C-alpha cells in the first residue's frame, strides 16, 4: 500500500529544487530591491532560531532555497532533520554574502516553518497511539502544489502516507457508491482497475455496508464517522479479513480511544490542513 512517490533522498532533493525555484520566482521576481541596498562585498553568518519546541523538517527545501540564490552559501545544521529542537535553540547556521542571505531568508523559513509544523503535529498524534496497532495516516487535504512536501513531513513525523492523488489508488466514497449503484456494483467495477492501483479501499457508514463490502472481497475498508461501540463491532465483524481505517471527526482528545478499538489505520486531515506554522527567526551577524 505504499504510495507511488518513493521519497528517496534523490527524489526529495529534486522535488525540493523544483518547489524552491517556484517559491523564489514568486518572491524575488526580477530582483530583491531591498537586499540591493547592501554592499555586495559584505559577508555575514545567519543563525536560524526556533522559538518553540518542534520536530525539524524541511532541510532539503531550505538548502535548495539558499543554493539557488547563491551556491556559495555554506549551510550547517545544528539540529538534524527529523530531530526535535527545544525552544530558543539555534537549529541552523548559514554563512556567505549578506545580500544572498537576506534574499533567501523568507523562502527558506517558509518551507521550514510549514514542514516542521506538519512533522511536529504528526509526531504528537503518533505518540498518542503508541502501543496500539493503529497507524496515523495523512489525506489529500494539503496545500495546492505542496502535497508531496507535506506528505514527506508526515513521514518525517512518524506517520504513514495515504494515496498521493486520484491517480495512484482507488478510494470509493459515499458519492461513488451512490453513483455506481451500491457497494456490490462499485466493487465489481473496481476489479477492472485494481491492477493499476496501489490499493482499492471502500468507505462505509454502516455495519451492513461493511458486511456487504467484505462479502464482495473488500480488502481495505474506511469506517466513516462511526462511534466507539460501532467501531468495536466493526472490528469484530471484520475478524482480520480487511485492513480497517477510521476517518471523520478524529481529534487528539479522542484518538487513543479510537486506536484502542483495534483498527489498523486512522486518517487525519488536520495533519496537513489545520497547521500553525512553527515559529522560526533568522538573525544576521556581519563577519
Length of the chain in terms of residues written: 287
117 and 223 both lie in a single domain? no
Integer Cα distance of 258 and 265 in angstroms: 10
162 and 196 both lie in a single domain? yes
CATH code of 235's domain = 3.20.20.70
In degrees rounded to 5, what are phi and psi of residue 98? -60, -40
253 and 176 both lie in a single domain? yes
- Domain membership flag for residue 1: no
DSSP secondary structure letters along the chain: ---SS---HHHHHHHHHHHHHHHHHHHHTT--TTGGGS-TT-EEEEEEEESS-EE---HHHHHHHHHHH-TT-EEEESS-TTPEEPTTEEEEEEEEEHHHHHHHHHHHHHHHHHHHHHHHHHHHHHHHTTTSSPEEE--S---TT-HHHHHHHHHHTT-B---SSTTS-EEE-HHHHHHHTSHHHHHHHHTTTGGGSS-EEEEESSHHHHHHHHHTT-SEEEEES--HHHHHHHHHHHTTSSEEEEESS--HHHHHHHHTTT-SEEE-GGGTSS-PPP-EEEEEEE-
CATH code of 24's domain = 3.90.1170.20
73 and 158 both lie in a single domain? no
168 and 226 both lie in a single domain? yes
Question: How much is the pLDDT for 197?
Answer: 87
How confident is the model over 53-68, as pLDDT tens digits? 999 999 999 999 999 9
- Domain membership flag for residue 2: no
Question: How much is the pLDDT for 55?
Answer: 98
121 and 178 both lie in a single domain? no
- Domain membership flag for residue 282: yes
20 and 119 both lie in a single domain? yes
- Domain membership flag for residue 241: yes
Q: What total of structural domains would you count in the chain? A: 2
98 and 189 both lie in a single domain? no
243 and 133 both lie in a single domain? yes
- 160 forms beta bridges with 137
Find the domain containing 184 and state its range: 129-271
Residues annotated catalytic, as ranges: 106, 141, 173, 203, 224
DSSP secondary structure letters along 203-242: EESSHHHHHHHHHTT-SEEEEES--HHHHHHHHHHHTTSS
262 and 133 both lie in a single domain? yes
- Domain membership flag for residue 172: yes
How confident is the model over 238-280, as pLDDT tens digits? 999 999 999 998 999 999 999 999 999 999 999 999 999 999 9
- Domain membership flag for residue 3: no
Q: pTM for this one? A: 0.94
Question: How much is the pLDDT for 4?
Answer: 67
Confidence tier at 33 by pLDDT (50, 70, 90): very high
88 and 133 both lie in a single domain? no
112 and 167 both lie in a single domain? no
Q: Is the pLDDT of residue 1 over 80?
A: no
- Domain membership flag for residue 15: yes
Question: How much is the pLDDT for 6?
Answer: 82
Question: How much is the pLDDT for 192?
Answer: 83
- In contact, 63 and 94? CB cutoff 8 Å: no
Integer Cα distance of 184 and 216 in angstroms: 6
Amino acid at each position: 500500500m505504499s504510495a507511488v512517490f518513493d521519497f528517496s533522498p534523490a527524489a526529495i532533493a529534486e522535488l525540493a529544487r523544483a518547489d524552491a525555484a517556484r517559491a523564489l520566482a514568486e518572491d524575488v521576481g526580477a530582483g530583491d530591491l531591498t537586499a540591493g541596498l547592501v554592499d555586495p562585498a559584505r559577508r555575514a553568518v545567519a543563525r536560524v532560531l526556533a522559538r518553540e519546541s518542534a520536530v525539524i523538517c524541511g532541510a532539503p527545501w531550505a538548502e535548495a532555497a539558499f543554493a539557488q540564490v547563491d551556491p556559495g552559501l555554506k549551510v550547517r545544521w545544528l539540529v538534524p532533520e527529523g530531530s526535535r529542537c527545544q525552544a530558543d535553540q539555534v537549529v541552523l547556521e548559514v554563512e556567505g554574502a549578506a545580500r544572498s542571505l537576506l534574499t533567501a531568508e523568507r523562502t527558506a523559513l517558509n518551507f521550514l516553518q510549514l514542514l516542521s509544523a506538519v512533522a511536529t503535529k504528526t509526531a504528537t498524534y503518533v505518540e498518542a497511539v503508541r502501543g496500539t496497532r493503529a497507524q496515523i495516516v495523512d489525506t489529500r487535504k494539503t496545500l495546492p502544489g505542496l502535497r508531496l512536501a507535506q506528505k514527506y513531513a508526515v513521514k518525517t513525523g512518524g506517520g504513514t502516507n495515504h494515496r498521493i492523488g486520484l491517480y495512484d489508488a482507488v478510494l470509493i466514497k459515499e458519492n461513488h457508491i451512490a453513483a455506481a449503484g451500491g457497494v456490490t456494483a462499485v466493487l465489481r467495477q473496481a476489479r477492472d482497475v485494481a491492477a493499476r492501483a496501489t490499493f482499492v479501499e471502500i468507505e462505509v457508514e454502516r455495519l451492513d455496508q461493511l458486511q456487504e463490502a467484505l462479502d464482495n472481497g473488500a480488502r481495505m475498508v474506511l469506517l466513516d464517522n462511526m462511534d466507539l461501540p460501532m467501531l468495536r463491532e466493526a472490528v469484530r465483524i471484520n475478524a482480520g479479513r480487511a485492513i480497517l481505517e477510521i476517518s471523520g471527526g478524529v481529534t487528539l482528545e479522542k484518538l487513543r480511544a479510537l486506536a484502542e478499538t483495534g483498527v489498523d489505520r486512522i486518517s487525519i486531515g488536520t495533519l496537513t490542513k489545520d497547521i500553525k506554522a512553527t515559529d522560526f527567526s533568522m538573525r544576521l551577524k556581519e563577519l
